[in-house]
Amino acid sequence: NVTPVMEFTLLGFSEAHEWKIYFFLLFLAIYLLTLMGNLVILGSISLCPQLQAPMYYFLSQLSFLDICYSSVTLPKMLVDFLAGSRSISFGCCVAQLYCFHCFGGTECFLLTIMAYDRYVAICDPLHYSSTMNKRACVQLVAGTWLAGSLHSALQTALTFRLPYCGPNQLDHYFCDVPPLLKLACADTSMNEAVLLANVGVVALCSLALILGSYIWIISAVLQMNSEEGRRKAFSTCAAHLTVVVLLYGPCILLYIQPTSSHPLRKVAAIFYTAVTPALNPIIYTLRNEEIKRTLRRVGWREVF
């Protein structure tokens, strides 16, 4: 005689209740910065004919993903800070978990594709236009979305096949796999093993491919005779590598121990769900001369 859980209570940052208005203002500023920065990049790429290269096509996809990624968690958290209601229905929890892992997995695969694009551009420039043609770029992006959707579907199906019949207080600010496993009324050892394996395949394999691409890239760049060419290549690659480190670092640390209750888990989650999407446009804009020239030429009003 057990009653299935119909809704969850997101504890979030309830231990710092007296600071909720400051947290609200902080995360509202981060969310607005994320939206504005990524919309600027999307607007710049769509307006400027010089920014129609494959690299900028992938960058526009990254900006779109960052908007979606942060919108899955931050608006709900802002409402919770303002209204004080921290409940989320079972169905909304399922949808939030699926969308979160779908956008996150897709972004991991997209960063791998972006590393491959840089590899072809620097190590095989004569065949770049034929290898990274428009059709190939669209197919690669479609593949990242498909892989991200399958990754998320597996995580969501395995998580919610478990019965939830007891406590419903989720020690997190959004629905994610590790805190949900703690509330399940069944053995979760298989889910933990699959979670570790799945995240390992997605994160570690993608990271290995990225690092492998950059070993070849660095080798090719060091052989360039032009100092300007080396500087430009390193500048472009540095922005991408910075984004990779900011996304992969906290993710791997967070999911390597799914049942850990360390208080820094929430801080790590905040970093890759809120801070990284806000920093990505700044990193790419500051490191990319063509985007800065586009903003100076067309102006902010035309971009928006």
Reported confidence tier of residue 3, pLDDT bands at 50, 70, 90: low
The pLDDT assigned to 171 comes to 83
Determine contact, residues 40/285, Cβ cutoff 8 Å. yes
The pLDDT assigned to 66 comes to 92
The pLDDT assigned to 300 comes to 57
- The yes-or-no verdict on residue 262 having pLDDT over 60 is no
298 against 238, higher pLDDT: 238
The pLDDT assigned to 263 comes to 60
Domains of the chain by start residue, with CATH: 7-303 (1.20.1070.10)
Mean pLDDT along residues 142-157? 92
DSSP string, the chain: --PPP-EEEE-TTGGGGGGHHHHHHHHHHHHHHHHHHHHHHHHHHHH-GGG-SHHHHHHHHHHHHHHHHHHHHHHHHHHHHHH---EEEHHHHHHHHHHHHHHHHHHHHHHHHHHHHHHHHHH-GGGHHHHT-HHHHHHHHHHHHHHHHHHHHHHHHHHHTS---S--EESSSS--HHHHHTT-SS--HHHHHHHHHHHIIIIIHHHHHHHHHHHHHHHHHHT-S-HHHHHHHHHHHHHHHHHHHHHHHHHHHHHSSTT---THHHHHHHIIIIIHHHHHHHHHHHH-HHHHHHHHHHHHHHH-
Q: Could you give the CA distance from residue 47 to residue 78 in angstroms, rounded to a whole number?
A: 32
50 against 71, higher pLDDT: 71
Single pTM value for the model: 0.86
Mean pLDDT along residues 41-52? 81
- The yes-or-no verdict on residue 2 having pLDDT over 60 is no
Mean pLDDT of the chain: 82
Mean pLDDT along residues 248-261? 63
Reported confidence tier of residue 275, pLDDT bands at 50, 70, 90: confident
196 against 118, higher pLDDT: 118
